[in-house]
Amino acid sequence: MKLKKKSWIRYFFRIVLLVLLIVGSYFVYRNYRILKQVHQYDTQVQAAVEAQGIPEYKDLVLSIIFTETKGLGDDPMQSSESTHGQPNQITESDRSIEQGVSYLSEAIEKSEEADTDLWTAVQAYNFGLEYIDYVADNSGKNTLELAENYSRDVLSPLLGNDNQTMYRYIGVHSFIYNGGYLYHNGGNLFYAELVKLNEQKIKWTNFLFE
């Protein structure tokens, strides 16, 4: 009886290991495919960061492309809103990257002047540059708590969500932080954390695309 039980346990763990291997392989392949799509813009990003005087932030820009569009579409940096105030207005990748890098450069410069950290500037890419002033008045460093407060109390009501309603948003950071929720019209409070994670993916795999 004991032998049979041990055999069943070994079989169970083999199945679990196989499932984990399959899932892990899928995520490795999926991330490689996304990284390949993102790196198609290497030359354009390099030119844009050099033009804006921030060549050290090339990997950061690529990670924003990863986060925004995974390298798909004609507006890889989702720059339409910072240019026109509404999405789907830019239809050329060169223009998207030029505008996106320009906006990021402006956010970084303002963040440095306000003595806030880089991730405040990155979060401001999603929230708008006014977020930098908000962080400057509250500790000077971007945190999930500050991002949530701004999303809930400032941005969301400003864009019409007076009742601060939320919707499901599934991701590692969101699930750990609040069970997986964002505020309607409140941007993505996890944006800086997502970009930070994707930047590590870019840095760890750059050698594959050189």
pLDDT at 4: 58
- The single-letter DSSP state of residue 70 is T
Q: What is the largest CA-CA distance in the chain?
A: 73
Taking 70 as the threshold, does the pLDDT of residue 2 lie above it? no
3-class DSSP state of 139 = coil
pLDDT at 114: 98
Taking 90 as the threshold, does the pLDDT of residue 198 lie above it? yes
pLDDT at 17: 75
∠ CA(181), CA(148), CA(160), 5° rounding?
80
Range of the domain at 122: 2-209
Report the domain count for the chain.
Answer: 1
φ/ψ of residue 166, rounded to 5: -125, 165
What tens digit of pLDDT does each residue of 20-67 get?
A: 777 667 667 788 899 999 999 999 999 999 999 999 999 999 999 999
pTM score above 0.85: yes
Confidence of residue 85 (pLDDT cuts 50, 70, 90): low
Taking 60 as the threshold, does the pLDDT of residue 5 lie above it? no
Q: Is the dihedral of CA 63, 71, 77, 167 positive or negative?
A: negative
3-class DSSP state of 203 = helix
- CB burial readout 84-120, b (16+ within 10 A) else e: eeeeeebeebebbbbbbbbbbbbbbebbeebebbbbb
Domain of residue 80, CATH code? 1.10.530.10
Instruction: For 29-47, give the DSSP string.
Output: HHHHHHHHHHHTTHHHHHH
Count of alpha carbons within 13 Å of 6, Cβ hemisphere only?
3
Percentage of the chain exceeding pLDDT 70: 92
